[in-house]
Amino acid sequence: MEGIAKKLWFIAFTLAVAVLAVSVAPAQEEGTEGELTEMEWVWAEVVSVDYQNSQIKVNYLDEETLEEKELIFNVDKDTVFENVESLWEIKPQDSVSIDYIVTAEGLNLARKIYVEREGEELSVSEDYLKTEVTSP
């Protein structure tokens, strides 16, 4: 009976380690043909939006070369939008944060697009500005 208990404990331990390894793994998404792809991220400015082909062209600053570069992102039915309802609300010169994967075909597939709208920057309320500051 002791041998069975050890085997069950070993199986339970192995399953626990496997579950822990999966939960700690970097964000990955299944690409085409079942291939796992790491999620990438970019902060950029929209250059143009091709509504007919569901694509966004952006300019971003490459951190390694400190050069401005251009990327084109494909948007599909699984793309999640934040601060806008759809691709139709995104316009040139919008600032965007895009989480994306690179498919096996080399396409940048947007998974989440956050659009920063004017006036969203961190601001101090008028009431706070009227508050008298006293020193201790």
Q: 3-59, pLDDT tens digit by residue?
A: 565 544 445 444 444 443 444 344 444 544 445 579 999 999 999 999 999 999 999
Between residues 37 and 76, the one the model is more confident about: 76
Distance in angstroms (rounded) separating the CA atoms of residues 2 and 18? 24
Beta-bridged to residue 70, according to DSSP, are 59
C-alpha distances in angstroms, 71 versus 8, 102, 120, 121, 134? Answer: 52, 12, 25, 25, 51
pLDDT of residue 47: 98
Report the SS3 class of residue 131.
coil
Distance in angstroms (rounded) separating the CA atoms of residues 26 and 39? 8
Confidence of residue 2 (pLDDT cuts 50, 70, 90): low
Distance in angstroms (rounded) separating the CA atoms of residues 90 and 113? 10
Whole-prediction pTM: 0.63
Domain 28-116 annotated CATH 3.20.20.30: no
Distance in angstroms (rounded) separating the CA atoms of residues 90 and 95? 9
Mean pLDDT of the chain: 77
- Residue 114: half-sphere exposure toward Cβ, Cα within 13 Å: 7
